Amino acid sequence: MARVEYDDVSKRFPTQDRPAVDHLGLDVANGEFLVLLGPSGCGKTTALRMLAGLEYPDSGDILIDGRSVVRLEPKDRDVALVFQSYALYPHMSVRDNIQYPLRVRKQLTAMERLSKVDRVADLLGIRQLLPRRPAQLSGGEQQRVALARAIVREPRVFLMDEPLSNLDAKLRTHTRTELKALQKQLGVTTIFVTHDQAEAMTMGDRIAVLDAGKLQQLGTPDNVYQRPANLFVAQFIGSPPMNIVDARRDGGALVLTGGWRVEAPRGLAGSDGIKVGLRPESIDLERAPASGAQPAEVLVSEPLGSEVIVNVKLGDALLKIRTGPDVRPDPGTPVYLRARPGGVRVFDASSGAALN
């Protein structure tokens, strides 16, 4: 149980010319599930490793429960880390792996240790694996053992470095749900690193989006999805990502590429050189011409079972539009587009910052 704070933390590796983590500030509440999300090389793992004590920040401070930990050895921080590769000790049985962190606690008897191991093994359904060696386990089983080793300690903070990325797609979705439920049950502050935006959206209480070492946005999944702070977040989150098209202002309206006029959102700061972002589900597709609807031409329809992504050519831009499973216009079909009110996001073309 702990609150974690990153206070203006920077870290640059000697072999690189830009910082891996650049003035990062974060405040993670007690019991929160925070996801650090970003492309590879964005600094998310470095940020996590600094909290674990495996890297040292060049400047700034990291606090757990209000006390600075940057000068503490990893062993004295009371945080557990689940590695991407699981880092199970190959020369020990699963039981010894799980009780390894307990062995340094002198106040525990061997019986108490083993009963703790059994309890965690039951929680994760791996009791039958206890006598085996890590090499005899499947990837999913190894992942559970790594998790058990972290949980058995009852640490102040769980750190997870892409723990699901080595699982196959089906198991990953399943484990995602389980892990989220488990975290809520245990109530331990968790920082979870991933490059998978779907993982971030489904698991995080809040998401911190990082790019090039800088925090781009910190917010709830809804907030980050609906109101991306800049073009990077807009395009990184969502599958398919937000459609971004060039636009200019014309009085109370925005004129998009291809001459599509949409109503400007209220309170939009006047500016030239703007881009407009529309989520695939923020565009309605109509088959018949209607007033105010923009004509366009279908390039291809991609059926996904529960929904169809219709690709539409608008001027020189390609828009992806999410529709129901029954709407499958053939290539070349003329369609008519309408932007949903409230679904229009405007960005500054040069800085990328959101303007509304």
Partner 1 sequence: MVEGPGVTTRAASRVARTAAAPRGASWIEALAVHAVFVLVVVFFLVPFLWLFTAAFDADAVAYIRFPAAPTLNNFVRIFTEHDFGRALLNSVFVAGSTMVLDVIAVALAGYSLSRLEWRFKSWITYAVLLLQTMPLSATMVPIYGLARALGLRNSYAGLILIHAAIELPFLVWLMKNFFDNVPRYLEEAAWLDGRSKLRALAEIVLPVARNGIGVVAGLAFLAAWAEVLMMIILIDSQDLKTVPLAFYETLRTQGGYTEVQYGLVAAMGVLYAVPVMALFLMTRRMMVRGLVASSRGL
User: Could you say whether residue 101 binds partner 1 (CB under 8 A)?
Assistant: yes
Pair of tokens at residue 349: 């073309």
Single out the segment in contact with partner 1 by CB under 8 A; choices: 32-40, 77-85, 166-174, 322-330: 77-85
Single out the segment in contact with partner 1 by CB under 8 A; choices: 83-91, 116-124, 164-172, 190-198: 83-91
User: Could you say whether residue 71 binds partner 1 (CB under 8 A)?
Assistant: no
Minimum CB distance to partner 1 smaller for 85 or for 351: 85
Q: Calculate the dihedral angle through the C-alpha atoms of 56, 60, 63, 68, rounding to the nearest 10 degrees.
A: 70
Q: Do 57 and 50 meet the contact criterion of CB atoms below 8 Å apart?
A: yes
Single out the segment in contact with partner 1 by CB under 8 A; choices: 80-88, 201-209, 212-220, 269-277: 80-88
Q: Which of residues 134-153 bind partner 1 (CB under 8 A)?
A: 149, 153
Collapsed DSSP state (helix, strand, coil) of residue 32: coil
Question: Residue 240, preceding bond cis, omega within 30 degrees?
Answer: yes
Q: Do 82 and 152 meet the contact criterion of CB atoms below 8 Å apart?
A: no
Minimum CB distance to partner 1 smaller for 75 or for 266: 75
Minimum CB distance to partner 1 smaller for 57 or for 221: 57
Out of 5, 72, 100, 198, name the contact with partner 1 by CB under 8 A. Answer: 100
Minimum CB distance to partner 1 smaller for 6 or for 158: 158
Q: Which of residues 5-64 bind partner 1 (CB under 8 A)?
A: 52-54
Name the helix (H) or strand (E) containing 338.
Answer: strand 334-339
Minimum CB distance to partner 1 smaller for 105 or for 184: 105
Cβ partners under 8 Å of residue 333, min gap 6: 287, 297, 298
Give CA–CA dist 94/115, Å, rounded.
Answer: 14
Pair of tokens at residue 294: 């923009």
User: Could you say whether residue 340 binds partner 1 (CB under 8 A)?
Assistant: no
Out of 25, 39, 74, 324, name the contact with partner 1 by CB under 8 A. Answer: 74
- 4-11 and 21-28 beta bridge pairing: antiparallel
Give CA–CA dist 94/30, Å, rounded.
Answer: 30
Q: Contact positions toward partner 1, by CB under 8 A?
A: 52-54, 73-75, 77, 79-81, 83, 85, 87, 89-91, 100-101, 104-105, 149, 153
